A and B are shown apart, each in its own frame.
Chain A
Amino acid sequence: AQSVSQHNHHVILSEAASLELGCNYSYGGTVNLFWYVQYPGQHLQLLLKYFSGDPLVKGIKGFEAEFIKSKFSFNLRKPSVQWSDTAEYFCAVNTNAGKSTFGDGTTLTVKP
């Protein structure tokens, strides 16, 4: 069965700092990879996704993620965070079987 591991439960950064959130998955076959964001009091929204092709994926609001197959990783990055990026971030894996497996989430707090 697939599983997803997010390394940090809570990250606190100052505005303009660079962000990298780790995500590792365990599954030996072809995967689709996602990052979702949940702003305070709101529902989950898709931030970006990887299906195939260029392993560096660019999403909304300046976020990007890099798929490294050899490391089973799909880390999320942003060069300069803003206070409005304060949210919970979920990594998810789908193996074309209908069901996505979500990580436990990483709460990002950006200090103004």
Chain B
Amino acid sequence: DAGVIQSPRHEVTEMGQEVTLRCKPISGHDYLFWYRQTMMRGLELLIYFNNNVPIDDSGMPEDRFSAKMPNASFSTLKIQPSEPRDSAVYFCASSSNRDPQETQYFGPGTRLLVL
């Protein structure tokens, strides 16, 4: 298995632009998580899905952030409009409820810089 795939790996954009981050979970996994990591706030859970349905989005910082999971193999995290304080590494992770330990497997992350 290729593991969790994220794209792009790096993104540099100007303030005000729309940013779309993409994630392909491990095939067969039914949970998908979006995290944000910064030096100041550490690792934060933004939102997670179970069977494509958002379960908990309480970590989404504000309305500029939205996430979708149109099918079991694809999810997007969108920031519109982007701001410099959104600069961070965004990780996607997936897990399976058939794994009793529900280990989360992380993607390589998207490093976002908003100028």
Contact = CB atoms under 8 A, between A and B. Distances in A.
Contacts of B106: 36, 43-45
A94 B50 contact: no
A29 interface: no
Interface residues of A, number: 21
Contacts of A43: 91, 106-109
Contacts, number: 53
A51 interface: yes
A15 interface: no
Interface residues of B, number: 23
Interface of B: 31, 33, 42-43, 45, 48, 50, 55-56, 91, 93, 95, 97, 100-109
Please provide the 9 A-B residue pairs with the shortest distance between their CB atoms, ordered closest to farther: A44-B106, A51-B101, A32-B101, A104-B42, A43-B106, A43-B108, A43-B109, A102-B43, A94-B102
Interface of A: 32, 34, 36, 42-46, 49, 51, 90, 92, 94, 96, 98-102, 104-105
